[in-house]
Structure 1
Amino acid sequence: MDTDVNGRRCPVPESGTAAEHLREGLGLTGAKVACGSGVCGACTVLVDGSPTASCLLPADRLAGRTVTTVEGLGGDHPVQRAFAGHDAMQCGFCTPGFVVAAAAFTDRWRAEHGDVPAGRAEIAEALSGHLCRCGAYEGIFSAVAAACAGEYDGEEQPAPPRPDAPDKAAGRARFTTDLGGTDTWEGVIVRSTEPHARVLKVAAGRARTEPGAGGPDEPVMVPLAVPDGVVRYVGQPVAAVAAPTAEAAHRAAGQVQVDYDPLPAVIGSEEARRPGAPQLYPTAEERDGAPAYGEAPTPPAPWNGNVRGPGVVSRRGATAVDRLRRAHRTEDPLLVAQEYTTAAQVHSALEPHAALARWEQDGSLSLEVSTQTVRKVVAKAAAHWGLEPAQVHVRAGHVGGGFGAKQGLTTDVLAAGELARVAGTAVRVRLSRSEELIDGGHRPGTRTKVALLADRRGRLRAMAVDSEGDGGVSVGSNVAALGALMYGKTPRRLRDFDVVTNRPPGAPMRAPGGPPLAWALEQAVDTMAERLREDPLTLRRRWDGNPKRRALYRTVADLPLWRDRPRGARTGRFRRGVGLAASTWMYMLAPQARVELRVVDGAVVARSATQDIGTGIRGVVGSTVADRLGAPAAWVHVEIGDSDAVHGTGAFGSRSTPSMGPAAAQAADRLRAALRERVPELPASGPVDEHTLKEALTAAEGVSVVGERRTDRWGQLTPSMAEDLAVGRGLSGAVHVMEVEVDTLLGRVRPTRCWAGLGVGRVYSERMARNQVEGAVVQGVGYALFEERRHDPVTGTVLSDDLEDYRLPGPGDVPETRVHFHQEGFEHVPGSGVGLGEVCAVGVAAAVGNAVHDATGWRPHALPVRPDRLLEGLR
């Protein structure tokens, strides 16, 4: 039998899933496969009008039924327009699934209720089977409510803040996992089954290992580099296999034989610290080659067995230690000394790591990559394959999230390139969700000891932070070091350690080191406020000299959420509490950022080799150019994610907007000057008559200018480092205020409201900036309450390797969030603003912890705040 797909009769295959049939057979790639287990909702389609997870549905079950995919909604359904208008997305990978389910809900709601907005609870229930890792739920709630109210029934709608939003909402945006063709082979990575072993031999089975040998459809295999010839965790890449189909590739991968010589393994930190424990890196050369999970270069530190460190940051450290020791000896009640732990948080972007590689006839290499760093991939790939950078062409059209884990020559890119060289055809490598959760990157777990000493007048007299990173085989803890950025110039000693174990490596994740420091430090500050018997906000205002946060504290003082919070001990099953946390982050920039503007057919094309992972840099560049030129937004077309364009910054370190925005502004000013040479009546600044501007653009056909990011008025704090990174002068600031409801019977914590205040200077696009902050709150709630990567204590095998066992927060788990921007303090910066993607993530979990304590009187010390821990603490 056939099936009706978007009004077209189509044959039904006898095997495979509905998602595979729609995507590979019919080319309807709007249905995204992100989890493969029906948890995330990204693959949702309508089957006979009902939202259905197509990744679980056998394809033959479509026979005789009607299927509507996101493409079948036509792009003009009110929900699709509302999603674009309310910026109800970030990377957009999950958006088609949300749209399909939301369209069905909206149509049903309006039939039953008329043009009445649905409530937050009803929308959350309808979309409960969907996940957005970026955390764009606030926009989704607003969009669906507006569509239910009929606000998007008309044809004319304002331009969305995100220019690619209509394509994402319609399923037209093509991600790396969507690319391929009949000549594209599928690649699979073969991974270690041993936690620690010497690799003796890798046998290819029936696959060939050299170009040109064997039949045209015979699978190929390549070994992947194993440092020192030693695997150090279960899941470490060892080899890769490719074949014309995924089924054939998996079959060939199963035939690869790897011979190991097992070595003693250490799985837990306690075990790794013991005297005489087996060493992961016994030689200095091996220690120098240990992978790092930070974004900045890892400074040198001593090793003692499996323990690296301490890396020390000190400001009158001897004075701090002396005061703290004396306070300990005298049992000073104003000495707060506590220990806090955090679990590993996995990045798990819904589009997994993915790459498609093709070697061209001229010997150049073309790569389609889901990456945060187009230019870095070029440099790394050229060095690896012995090419000139001009011979490597990298594209990242749409990227389905990253959060720090998709940087450089990741395993998927390396495997795709090697396999394509041997296969003689294009090869695509996509990590499965299990691979993503095992080896796709994670924020390392930590154990942090913090000590604070105050005097009787409530002044901070000393601080010490010792933090131990648990990044598996990787190193790079900077948790304690970040304590140098908070609470003035009081004497302090800050020490960072790493304990290496036979578990997968970490990777930088939104504000690396920041959330675990805030989890410990901000709860210790609240404890000190209790000891001093004063308001936690009052204490922070006394200790904190950061002018941005001081402005935010003034706002918090008048905030009803804080001012009217409950006071005193609470009773009953459900208890409400409110907590706050302060945070900071460095101002980073990319000094080499460039934007090229070219006049083409009477419009302006803006090009740069930067990439958009959901942060909205397309919109920032486009709106900046349009505003400076005085042009309608529709006259500016932005093309990014192509390495052939001028240099663009990587999307990490909160540097994209404060780097690309000023470069776009300068390019627009230079183009305007070039237009005035042709049409002198064009004003030098301000609004422009559209007829005059069109005349000038027509006269300037083919004109091209390049804008760069100008130097800050006060210069940079650091010189420009590798990968186009520098630290500027000034620190951003943030304050989060969180309200929670604690169920003391079941041990559950439900965040209900959050206020997020950001001091980052000028905000380029307020709606997209709010979206970033709201998403950080969602990820912080996940860090605080749900997310915990678990492993087998004997082998180190990751056990939480699907989205049922590794829980991400869904629409019903997150608080209603308000965002406030303090837009002063960075006037010395071109564009007057700095990045916010890191600072808005730092304090969320700590605010949850302080709110839980406020509600219950119990202080959580371990993340996540699981029900069993809470109930144990309340006994």
Structure 2
Amino acid sequence: MDAHVNGHPTPVPDSTTATAAAHLRDGLGLTGTKIACGTGVCGACTVLVDGSPTVSCLLPADRLAGRTVTTVEGLGGDHPVQRAFAAHDGLQCGFCTPGFVVEASVFVDTWRAEHGDTRPDRETIADALAGHLCRCGAYEGIAAAVAAACAGEFDTAPEEAPPRFDALDKVTGRARYSADLAPPGSWEGVIVRSALPHARVRSVRVADERTPLVELLPPDRTVRYVGQPIAAVAAPTPEAARTAAATVAVDYDPLPAVVGFDAAHSPDAPLVHPTKADRADAPAYGEAPTPPAPWTGNVRGPGVLSWRGPTAVARLRSASAAGDPLLVAEEYTTATHLHSPLEPHVCVAHWQENGLRLFVSTQSVSKLADRVASHWDLDRDRVHVVTEHVGGGFGAKNGISADVRAAVELSRVAGAPVRVSFTRAEELTDAGNRPGTRTRVALLADRDGDLAAMSVDSHGDGGVSVGSSTATLAFLMYGRAPRRVRDFDVVTHRPPGLPMRGPGGPPMAWALEQAVDEMARRLGEDPLSLRLRWDGNVKRRALYERAARTDLWRERPRGPRTGRFRRGVGVAAANWLYLYGPRARVELVVENGALVARAATQDLGTGIRAVLADTITDRLGLPGGGVRVEIGRSSSVHGTGSYGSRTTTSMGPAAADAADRLRSALRDRDPRVPERGPIDEHVLKEALAAAEGLSVVGGRVRDRWGPLTPAMADDLAIGRGMSGAVHVMEVEVDTLLGRVRATRCWAGIAAGRIYSERQARNQCEGAVVQGVGQALFEERRHDPNTGAVLTDDLEDYRIPGLGDVPETEVYFHREGFEHVPGGGVGLGEVSVVGVAAAVGNAVFDATGWRPRDLPLRPDRLIEGIR
């Protein structure tokens, strides 16, 4: 019996093993239905079955027989919800958006039938969308969009274009992600992973020798954590590939392992990296190149960037011996956090006569193409990386990951395109993490309440990887008082970390900002006033003064609180380095009388498409929609990677330079083109028509004061000045159940000029969501004996939903970066660094209990307030 899918009769497979989601995507090509969690938790695969929202990843495909099915494509693009999501920017990467839109369409239609054109409150909307997750955290826009659609504001198409350049593609399901791009005849690849934490692999065999198999082992054939890739197999269908993978036999020579953080310190603990070569090859989880550091057993550090600070040490020791009450010395810990973008790592590889083509989910198109060419000894122009859209990354998708290695090698062996996609369990195990930390902070104030000394020692828990920078970042906070900062890594037989949004920053702020708040309590001083007095950063000082004037801060409760539910307000400050890519380029081409902007950059949902288009149209005075933007192809001019808060401040100035070069080239051909200012639309049209094929390339011009550092590897330089942030957070604490609910947040961000305001606000709102997740929910758990990750699905590893996060107001301080081309720097990192610390300080304000360990689990809170 057929199903009626989007109004058309469609055959249904007889198989009981295929899911409805897989059938819709691979069988019918309706790729707007996304598979993210595979367990019905995230809602990305939601479709309507007989008008009812249904998670299609759990529904057998044969159960669609005789049913009416509507996918996001079937909504047509003109449903009020789709228009509202686009207009209110209720999305970022867009991977979860089709599921949200499908669910919200039913809610809006039902609400209006029952309540007319009235707005539901936020809690009602959160309840309606409780089965959906957005890892980017675009919940403010989602709530606003649903409320506006319910009020009838989008029954007709809005006159203004949406703020996001690709919004309509994402709300209709037209946006194609890497798994959607597998060509016909693609095989499926499956990775076989280690079942042991430490072993040498003697051999790997597959039952059917005709099955393509490739090994993914390091040269010494040693595995160092449960889940490390060993081999990969491929077959024409996903079911056949999974069956073949289950027959792979791995012969291990087991070796002693150490999986506990404390156990790794023991002098007789098994060494994770026993030789000098092993230590040199240890994977890194820092954003910049990892500086050298000494090793003592499984402990690495302190690194060369550490600061010994003898004056600070002497003062702190003297204060400790004297029992000085103005010495705050405590230890703070953070759990391991997982990036978990909703689009899992995926690569489709295809060896062709003209080279190697990769459809891959990557944050760094140019860099990946360079690395692939080097790794497989290919000319750079024979590597073609295509990434139309990326479903989130947060630092996890920057290199040759296991999906890329497996797909490339399997395609060569199979003689066909091969797709390798991580399962959610693989994503939560071996796709990177923000390592846990154990940080000891000591602050000493003098009798005037000024900072007299600071010490920060931090130990990173990065599994087999190294690169802790938590203490080093603390060096850059709170003036120039004597200080000592030391970073260490403690390596274990657990999966490696990778840079995650503000690497090292949130753990630093969690420890330091709790200590600063404690010092304010001991001094009897307002926490904002103390920070204003200690902090010499002009931009953050402006944020403190603004924060002090907000209703959230002025009207906060004072004094001890009683009762089951207690409200508290806390504050935290943050900074981040100004990074940029000096090699950023944008090409402008005249094609068919129109302008096309091209670059091999990528957009994770931060809005670089709009930044490029808006910069060029503003520079030339073009009408809206006057530029077509094409990104995500390695054949274009070099584009900066979309990570490290450097994309906009690199690509925006390059686009402006390209526009200036185009104006000059057009003026050489047509003197009616003015040297500056808007170009008359008629003149521009004629000038472009006469310049068919004209191409100019703009680059990222030099800062007025020059860079702080020379250009480093991976197109990275550090500029002068630091961005800043101040977060004020309100929480409600349920002292009976030990639950904390973040209710309101004021986020002050100092990053100079804002290129695309709504998308910038969206980023900062999403940062608050991720920081609240870090503070209250997210914690990777592992087996204490083997190190195997136990939180390997989105039920056990919980990320926040709409009902878990505060209403957020974002304020931009737009001064301080006038020396930077374009006047603004990145804000994706600094906007997340202090959020969890603000939650912790708010909990202390509400309860009088000082939290020291993240996340703030109910058991910890109940134990602490007893």
Q: Give the TM-score taking structure 1 as reference length.
A: 0.98
Report the CA distance between 1:182 and its aligned residue. 3.0
Measured in 1, the distance between the counterparts of 2:410 and 2:398 equals 20
* Corresponding position of 1:840: 831
Q: 2:76 aligns with which of 54, 74, 87?
A: 74
Paired residues of 1:334 and 1:531 also in contact (CA < 8 A) = yes
Paired residues of 1:613 and 1:651 also in contact (CA < 8 A) = yes
1:100 equivalenced with 2:102 (yes/no): yes
1:13 equivalenced with 2:4 (yes/no): no
* Corresponding position of 2:251: 259
The residue matched to 1:429 in structure 2 has which SS?
strand
* Corresponding position of 1:768: 759
Measured in 1, the distance between the counterparts of 2:719 and 2:506 equals 22
Paired residues of 1:43 and 1:54 also in contact (CA < 8 A) = yes
* Corresponding position of 1:611: 602
* Corresponding position of 1:598: 589
Per-residue displacement from partner, 1:381-436 (whole Å, max 9, x unpaired)?
Answer: 11111111111111111011100010111111111000000000100100000000
Q: 1:240 aligns with which of 232, 245, 248?
A: 232
* Corresponding position of 1:216: none
Paired residues of 1:312 and 1:496 also in contact (CA < 8 A) = no
Paired residues of 1:312 and 1:495 also in contact (CA < 8 A) = no
* Corresponding position of 1:119: 121
Measured in 1, the distance between the counterparts of 2:632 and 2:386 equals 5
1:418 equivalenced with 2:444 (yes/no): no
Q: 1:351 aligns with which of 334, 343, 350?
A: 343
- Percent of matched pairs sharing the same residue: 71
Amino acid at match of 2:777: F
Change beyond 3 A, Cα 1:841–1:156: closer
* Corresponding position of 1:194: 196
Q: How does 1:327-726 map onto structure 2 within 5 Å?
A: 327-362=319-354, 364-726=355-717
Measured in 1, the distance between the counterparts of 2:207 and 2:284 equals 34
Structure 1 stretches (4+) deviating beyond 6 angstroms?
none
Paired residues of 1:312 and 1:494 also in contact (CA < 8 A) = no
Paired residues of 2:177 and 2:391 also in contact (CA < 8 A) = yes
Q: 1:829 aligns with which of 820, 845, 856?
A: 820
Report the CA distance between 1:633 and its aligned residue. 2.4
The residue matched to 2:407 in structure 1 has which SS?
helix
* Corresponding position of 2:176: 174
The residue matched to 1:633 in structure 2 has which SS?
coil
* Corresponding position of 1:318: 310
Q: How does 1:129-148 map onto structure 2 within 5 Å?
A: 129-148=131-150
Per-residue displacement from partner, 1:683-721 (whole Å, max 9, x unpaired)?
Answer: 332233322221222122211111101000100011100
Per-residue displacement from partner, 1:772-794 (whole Å, max 9, x unpaired)?
Answer: 00011000000000000000000
Per-residue displacement from partner, 1:120-165 (whole Å, max 9, x unpaired)?
Answer: 1111111000000000000101111111111112234311121111
Paired residues of 1:604 and 1:635 also in contact (CA < 8 A) = yes
1:64 equivalenced with 2:55 (yes/no): no
Change beyond 3 A, Cα 1:419–1:823: same
Report the CA distance between 1:227 and its aligned residue. 4.6
Report the CA distance between 1:228 and its aligned residue. 2.3
Report the CA distance between 1:316 and its aligned residue. 7.2
Change beyond 3 A, Cα 1:91–1:207: farther
Measured in 2, the distance between the counterparts of 1:685 and 1:850 equals 51
Measured in 2, the distance between the counterparts of 1:420 and 1:128 equals 40
Measured in 2, the distance between the counterparts of 1:678 and 1:114 equals 59
* Corresponding position of 2:265: 273
**Greater shift after overlay, 252-261 or 782-791?**
252-261
Measured in 2, the distance between the counterparts of 1:60 and 1:394 equals 36
Amino acid at match of 1:199: V
Report the CA distance between 1:675 and its aligned residue. 2.0
Per-residue displacement from partner, 1:417-465 (whole Å, max 9, x unpaired)?
Answer: 0000000010010000000001011100000000000011110000000
Measured in 2, the distance between the counterparts of 1:755 and 1:619 equals 26
Paired residues of 1:133 and 1:348 also in contact (CA < 8 A) = yes
Measured in 1, the distance between the counterparts of 2:596 and 2:711 equals 29
Report the CA distance between 1:313 and its aligned residue. 4.4
Measured in 1, the distance between the counterparts of 2:115 and 2:462 equals 52
Q: How does 1:150-165 map onto structure 2 within 5 Å?
A: 150-165=152-167
Measured in 1, the distance between the counterparts of 2:127 and 2:751 equals 35
Amino acid at match of 1:326: S
Amino acid at match of 2:390: V
Amino acid at match of 2:136: C
Report the CA distance between 1:61 and its aligned residue. 1.6
**Greater shift after overlay, 153-162 or 12-21?**
153-162
Measured in 2, the distance between the counterparts of 1:739 and 1:87 equals 25
Count of aligned pairs between the two proteins = 864
Report the CA distance between 1:204 and its aligned residue. 2.9
Measured in 2, the distance between the counterparts of 1:312 and 1:591 equals 25
RMSD: 1.0
Measured in 2, the distance between the counterparts of 1:769 and 1:735 equals 16
**Greater shift after overlay, 149-158 or 709-718?**
149-158
Measured in 2, the distance between the counterparts of 1:309 and 1:383 equals 31
Change beyond 3 A, Cα 1:118–1:688: farther
Paired residues of 1:190 and 1:240 also in contact (CA < 8 A) = yes
Report the CA distance between 1:637 and its aligned residue. 0.3
**Greater shift after overlay, 113-122 or 830-839?**
113-122
Measured in 2, the distance between the counterparts of 1:282 and 1:414 equals 26
The residue matched to 2:302 in structure 1 has which SS?
strand
Structure 2: which 5+ runs fail to align? Answer: none
Measured in 2, the distance between the counterparts of 1:687 and 1:179 equals 40
Amino acid at match of 1:92: G
* Corresponding position of 1:212: none
The residue matched to 1:132 in structure 2 has which SS?
coil
The residue matched to 1:798 in structure 2 has which SS?
coil
Measured in 1, the distance between the counterparts of 2:529 and 2:664 equals 52
Report the CA distance between 1:601 and its aligned residue. 1.5
Per-residue displacement from partner, 1:84-139 (whole Å, max 9, x unpaired)?
Answer: 11111110000000000111111111111121122211111110000000000001
Report the CA distance between 1:241 and its aligned residue. 0.5
Structure 1: which 5+ runs fail to align? Answer: 209-218
Measured in 2, the distance between the counterparts of 1:30 and 1:299 equals 44
The residue matched to 2:220 in structure 1 has which SS?
helix
Amino acid at match of 2:379: E
Measured in 1, the distance between the counterparts of 2:497 and 2:258 equals 17
Q: 2:54 aligns with which of 52, 55, 58?
A: 52
Q: Give the TM-score taking structure 2 as reference length.
A: 0.99
Amino acid at match of 1:192: S
Amino acid at match of 1:506: G
Report the CA distance between 1:670 and its aligned residue. 1.2
The residue matched to 1:269 in structure 2 has which SS?
coil
Measured in 1, the distance between the counterparts of 2:371 and 2:583 equals 18
Report the CA distance between 1:312 and its aligned residue. 5.4
* Corresponding position of 1:211: none
Paired residues of 2:308 and 2:485 also in contact (CA < 8 A) = no
Report the CA distance between 1:225 and its aligned residue. 2.8
Per-residue displacement from partner, 1:15-47 (whole Å, max 9, x unpaired)?
Answer: 211111111111111110000000000000011
Measured in 2, the distance between the counterparts of 1:734 and 1:229 equals 46
The residue matched to 2:500 in structure 1 has which SS?
coil
Q: 1:222 aligns with which of 190, 209, 214?
A: 214
Amino acid at match of 2:279: R
1:302 equivalenced with 2:304 (yes/no): no
Q: 1:751 aligns with which of 734, 742, 746?
A: 742
1:285 equivalenced with 2:277 (yes/no): yes
